[in-house]
Amino acid sequence: MTIFDPLDAEPIINACGPVTRLGGAPMPLQVLEAMRRAAEGAASLERLQAAAGRLIAKHTGAEAGLATAGAAASLTLGAAAILAGLDPAKMERLPDTSGLPHEFVVAREQRSGYDHAVRAAGARLVEAGFNELVAGAGVRRTEAWEIEAAIGERTAGILYVAASDSRPTIAEVVEIGQRRQLPVLVDAAGQLPPRENLKKHIAAGADLVCFSGGKAIRGPQSSGILCGRAPLVQSAALQMLDMDDHPELSQAPCPIPRHGIGRAMKVSKEEIVGLATALELFASGEYDRELPEMHASLEQIAAALRGRPVDCSMQPSVGGAAPVLRVTLRESAPRTAMEVCRMLRAGTPAIFVGHAELHQRTLVIHPLCLREGEAEQIAQRLLETLVVAPRH
Ligand SMILES: *Cc1c(COP(=O)(O)O)cnc(C)c1O
């Protein structure tokens, strides 16, 4: 019997943070309870979404909001809203955009696997600029004039992927968008915490902003937020909600489309309520109370590794983000970071640590998803990987 009964699947220890591959963040009890309650009743999804939209608008400062099936779904819906507006004939066609403006300009350095979600709506991405820092060829990154120069007759919008050091700045890109009358769609999926970032890109003038609900917000793993200008959010809602109703009964501001491109990304009433509950908790600062305990867990791991061939460095909590422990293997360590990572995953229970810095010989321990007693297990298993010399 495992916690995943009736499936014969073993739980793992997630020391990697709220990543999708490992099931996201643990949902607080209040969220689970809200979802259980919601499961007992029936709801008009349209009305429930309207209520969730008002709550999202309150916390983001946007005109309107929508609970989605994750930030990637928000990207598809946001692109679909920009492409179709409130025209049901265009909604019906997507992702066929032949003959319509359908290009989204994006800084080349902001492209990632997630932009597939934008292309899925029928958009084509047009890249602009260079990152000469990454290329080792200079000191410059994508500049605002390069975004502007990529705009043409077929341009429908601008895609912007937010990070703390994104270039050009959101202000520069919004300025171009407003001057050229092109909406700016922002992927801010993982930009929380800090809580202030809920409002940051809307305040800067972005037209649509996407967040994950299953990362630091700790809502259902397959939930997300789309927020921004009311007509665009309304278009997104019309392209996601189930449209099987009489036009005479509709209160939509346009003839109602058939099921749209977002119908495949539907959100259940339980998820809408779960996301709303988690958003309230996140925005209230409630989660900050757990930070000292997370810090203590990491200290415990660092203390257990003292005297071993590793260097531990603690990145303290900033702006409500979880603290993080970096364990860097010295040259004298008996295994590489890649080998240690593989061994931890191969053991029972499997332990997954942050793997972004393995090539710098560093394991990153993220405490958000750790449960009681797991820090001790991680320390113990790390010690085991560091004592035996495996090389023949
Ligand atoms: C996590 C992430 C996404 C996808 O978010 P989901 O909520 O898992 O759909 C998109 N973009 C970026 C930058 C992300 O970090």
Q: What is the DSSP string of 301-357?
A: HHHHTTTSSEEEEEE---TTPPPEEEEEEPTTSSS-HHHHHHHHHHSSS-EEEB-TT
Rounded to 10 degrees, the C-alpha dihedral 346/350/352/358 comes to -20
Closest atom of ligand 1 to 188 CA is 13
Q: Is the CB–ligand 1 distance for residue 70 below 6 Å?
A: yes
Closest to 16 measured CA to CA, from 385, 373, 362, 356: 356
Tokens of 59: 């916390």
Give the Cα separation of 212 and 73 in Å (integer): 9
Residue 293 contacts residue 70 (beta carbons within 8 Å): no
CB 111 within 8 A of CB 127: yes
Per-residue CA distances from 62 to 84, 205, 271, 273, 302 (Å): 20, 10, 21, 19, 42
Q: How far is the CA of 217 from the centre of ligand 1 (A)?
A: 13
| Bond prior to 194 in cis (omega within 30° of 0) | yes
Task: Kindly give the distance from the C-alpha atom of residue 76 to the centroid of ligand 1, in angstroms, as a whole number.
Answer: 12
Strands (E) located in 113-188: 124-128, 155-161, 184-187
- Side-chain half-sphere of 152: how many Cα atoms within 13 Å? 10
Judge whether 66 and 225 are in contact, CB under 8 Å.
Answer: yes
- Residue type, position 193, single letter: P
Q: Ligand 1 mean position to 185 CA, how many Å?
A: 14
Using pLDDT thresholds of 50, 70 and 90, give the confidence band for residue 392: low
Distance 215 CA to ligand 1 centre (A): 9
Check if 16 has its Cβ closer than 6 Å to any atom of ligand 1.
Answer: no
134: amino acid identity, one letter: V
Task: With cut-offs at 50, 70 and 90, classify the pLDDT of residue 390.
Answer: low
Pocket test for ligand 1, best of 119, 166, 212, 225 (most atoms within 8 A of CB): 212
Residue 122 has pLDDT above 90, yes or no: yes
Q: For ligand 1, what atom is nearest to the CA of residue 24?
A: 8
- Tell me the pLDDT tens digit for each residue of 240-253: 999 999 999 988 88
Among 202, 166, 206, which residue's Cα sits nearest to residue 182? Answer: 206
> What spacing in Å lies between the alpha carbon of 226 and ligand 1's midpoint?
12
Q: Give pLDDT tens digits for 339-388.
A: 999 999 999 999 999 999 999 999 999 999 999 999 999 999 999 999 86
| Residues near 46 by beta carbon (within 8 Å), at least 6 away in sequence | 237, 241
Q: Two tokens at 24?
A: 């996201």
What whole-number percentage of the chain has pLDDT above 70? 99
Nearest ligand 1 atom to the CA of 212 is: 7
Q: What is the b/e burial string over 197-225, where b = at least 16 CB atoms within 10 angstroms of the residue's CB?
A: bbbbbbebebbbbbbbbbbbbbbbbbbbb
The reply to whether ligand 1 has any atom less than 6 angstroms from the CB of 187 is yes
Give the separation between CA 187 and CA 112, rounded to whole angstroms. 11
Query: Which protein residue has the closest C-alpha to ligand 1 atom 15?
Result: 190
Q: From the CB of 262, is ligand 1 less than 6 Å away?
A: no
> 63: which 2 tokens?
């005109």
pLDDT at 343: 97
pLDDT of amino acid 227: 99
Q: What is the DSSP string of 61-91?
A: --SEEEEES-HHHHHHHHHHHHHHTT-HHHH
CA-proximal residue: ligand 1, atom 11 (nearest): 189
* Rounded distance from Cα 191 to ligand 1 centre (Å): 10
Which residue's alpha carbon is nearest to atom 12 within ligand 1?
A: 189
CA of 19 to the centre of ligand 1 (A): 9
Using pLDDT thresholds of 50, 70 and 90, give the confidence band for residue 2: confident
Each residue's pLDDT tens digit, 23-41: 999 999 999 999 999 999 9
User: Residue 213 C-alpha to ligand 1 middle, in angstroms?
Assistant: 9
So what's the pLDDT on residue 56? 98
210 lines ligand 1 (CB under 6 A): no
From residue 67, give the alpha-carbon distance in Å to each of 56, 150, 258. 8, 32, 20
Spacing, Cα 114 to ligand 1 middle (Å): 7
Ligand 1 atom at minimum distance from 162 CA: 13
Asked if residue 224 has its Cβ within 6 Å of ligand 1, the reply is yes
> Does the CA dihedral 103-104-110-115 come out positive or negative?
negative
The CA 330 to ligand 1 mean position distance, Å, reads 33
Please report the atom of ligand 1 found closest to the CA of residue 222. Answer: 7
Q: Is 20 in the pocket of ligand 1 (CB under 6 A)?
A: yes
Within 10 angstroms of residue 290's Cβ, the number of other Cβ atoms is: 13
Q: What is the mean predicted confidence (pLDDT) over 268-272?
A: 98
Cβ atoms 211, 217 nearer than 8 A:
yes
Q: Is the pTM above the cut of 0.85?
A: yes
